[in-house]
Structure 1
Amino acid sequence: MTADADRNLTRDHFDHVVRVTTRWSDNDMYGHLNNAVYYELFDSAINGWLVTGAEFDVMASPELGVVAESGCRFFRELEYPRPLDVAVRVERLGRSSITYSLGLFDAQSAELAALGHWVHVYIDRDSRASVPMPATVRELLEQAVAAR
């Protein structure tokens, strides 16, 4: 996609959307959300979806989903106090990896504020070797892709 096309993404282009609220401490010295907060929101939206949707126990599972790659393009500022929508889309399902696209929206606007890119790779908790993603995770994400 081009940058212009990316800016036109809406919540409907994503598989899962969660509403969050910003906190006072999320603002930086310039009065808008600190860039690191965007990544925290993305991480929470993905893992919350996997924990609730796939009933994936991240603390006890023999597999760990680790972030192998991430990035974010910022289109407009967000600030406290604001409810936000964090949207998650499965872009690619591999044997042991998932590539996500993430949208961040002001809950009061249809305009995309930021577009994130995130890659999870599943590894064995002990050996740290790459392993296939857990079956419950794959099932949830395949259902999301099929529902489009």
Structure 2
Amino acid sequence: MINRHQKSDYPFFYKLSTRWKDNDVYGHINNVVYYEYFDTAVNKWLIENNLLDYKDGEQIGYIVKSNCDYFSPISHPSDFYVGIRVSKIGNSSVVYEIGIFLEGDELTSAQGSFTHVYVSRSTQKSCKLKDNFKTKLKTLFKS
């Protein structure tokens, strides 16, 4: 059995809102949309911390593994928080863990992870993470 994460398990949050198009025919957020929320939060954090230049940067991250576990449904309209933490930093990869919390909830409605492997935009070969990149990522470590 998978344990639901608590808000205190995450060092950083973004507040997001559902969109009308996120609902499926069953009246709740479709499962694939959670991955959009994950991707939005992590990339927003990377951009705000000057770690991702998606237009011209030489180093870019590709998702090579992802998963999501669902515990309680969310429906539109809802405000929620996306918690972000890092569980592993490798030579060229990072494992992000993400939790979705409805406003006022202390336990995740959904939680997951994805692994970015960083590559050179020009060669498409994996490349070593820069020291400043690793330093900023370490602020998202949560024990």
TM-score interval for Structure 1 and Structure 2 normalised by the shorter chain? over 0.9
> Which residue matches 2:95?
99
Distance 1:81 1:98 in 2: 32
Which is further off, 29-38 or 55-64?
Answer: 55-64
Distance 1:108 1:142 in 2: 27
Distance 1:91 1:15 in 2: 12
| Pairing partner for 2:27 from 16, 25, 31 | 31
Distance 1:55 1:122 in 2: 11
Distance 1:141 1:109 in 2: 26
Alignment of 1:139 onto 2:135: yes
Give the counterpart letter for 2:22 in structure 1: D
Contact 1:63 1:134 in 2 (8 A): no
Distance 2:55 2:47 in 1: 10
Contact 2:52 2:60 in 1 (8 A): no
Q: How does 1:1-148 map to 2 (within 5 A)?
A: 3=2, 6-7=3-4, 9-145=5-141
The runs of 4+ residues in structure 1 deviating greater than 3 Å are: none
RMSD, aligned CA: 1.5
For structure 2, list consecutive stretches of 5 or more residues without a partner in the other structure: none
Q: CA deviation at 1:143?
A: 2.8
Q: CA deviation at 1:14?
A: 1.0
Which is further off, 95-104 or 49-58?
Answer: 49-58
Question: Compared with structure 1, are the counterparts of its residues 134 and 44 closer, same or farther at alpha carbon in structure 2 (3 Å cutoff)?
Answer: farther
- The structure whose residues are more often helix, as a share, is 1
TM-score, normalising length: structure 2:
0.93
Contact 1:83 1:106 in 2 (8 A): yes
